[in-house]
Amino acid sequence: MHDDQYQAAMQHYGSLEDVNIQNAWLSIGSFDGVHRGHQQVVRQMVEGAHQEGAPVVVLTFHPHPAVVLGKRQKPFYITTPDQRAALLGELGVDVVITHPFNRDVAAMSARDFMAFVCDHLKVSHLWVGHDFALGRGREGNVDTLRRLGEELGYTVHVISPVDLDGEVISSSRIRSLLSEGDVDQAAHLLGRPFRLEGKVVAGDGRGRTIGIPTANIDIFPDMVLPKSGVYVCQAAFEPENGRVYGAVTNIGIRPTFDLQS
């Protein structure tokens, strides 16, 4: 992709090597959940970039670096890569790059990684969190990125934490809330209800025999799930153009059948 090809519709790419963009306003991070903190930062970046006619690019990774480096246990993800990209696109991001993360990427120095990024994006503005770091051993902190920016030609903007009702919004906090079953507070920090999506797969068909048809959903691997229980929800099906139904979702065992001897 070249700089004169970005459009109003968000473009999602699976590798940095697939893109070639000039004058990119870039943010790098996990953006898992695209929560209210992420949203506030992205809107600021979009406003500034689009005033200058520059493309807004978000570089993120899959698998999550913390998973690859063994610092987090599965299940982990609040959003799938495609969900994350779509949510960022709704905020005005022009290009999302979900770059593969592996041990080779983790071993790159901060300078080598940023040089690789700038070879493909020609970054003019870099937006990162105050505690952000990249590169081998997290050597690329804000001060290092600023020094590299003088060499590679970009300006660094440091993002302060965003709090809501006195609570700092973070993906890790939302994961904890979901695992505790507090889907309402998780939705408050996300700025929307938590969502699971996947393909409907065949089940035993027992629900239909008692007048309660069910849909068994095969979800994206390693998604964080709410605490086991039954939740009031809404369900939508792609073949029906997003028609929404009132529904309930069971997370965990099937209490009607699995507890029968």
pLDDT in the model for residue 50: 96
What pLDDT, on the 0 to 100 scale, is given for residue 5?
45
Q: Is the dihedral of CA 133, 138, 144, 148 positive or negative?
A: negative
Q: Assess whether pLDDT exceeds 70 at residue 260.
A: no
In the prediction, which pLDDT does 237 show? 84
pLDDT at 47: 96
Indicate the DSSP class of residue 233.
E
Is the model's pLDDT at 7 over the cut of 60? no
Strand partners, 58: 27, 96
pLDDT at 217 over 50: yes
211 vs 64, higher pLDDT: 64
Residue 208 banded pLDDT, cuts 50, 70, 90: low
% the chain with pLDDT above 90:
75
Nearest to 49 by CA among 198, 155, 193, 172: 155
Average pLDDT of the segment spanning 217-225: 92
pTM of the model: 0.89
- Interatomic CA distance for residues 144 and 178, integer angstroms: 35
What per-residue confidence (pLDDT) applies to 167? 86
pLDDT at 61: 97
Q: State residue 2's pLDDT score.
A: 44
pLDDT digits (tens, 9 = 90+) for 9-57: 899 999 999 999 999 999 999 999 999 999 999 999 999 999 999 999 9
- Cα gap 114→192, rounded to integer Å: 33
Closest CA to 215 of 229, 198, 228, 240: 198
pLDDT of amino acid 254: 61
CATH superfamily for domain 3-164: HUPs (3.40.50.620)
Q: Structural domain boundaries of the chain? A: 3-164, 196-261
Residues in CB range of 247: below 8 A, 6 or more apart: 232, 233, 234, 235
pLDDT in tens, 66-125: 889 888 777 789 999 999 999 999 999 999 999 999 999 999 999 999 999 999 999 999
Mean pLDDT for 246-252 is 90
* Mean pLDDT score across all residues of the chain: 90
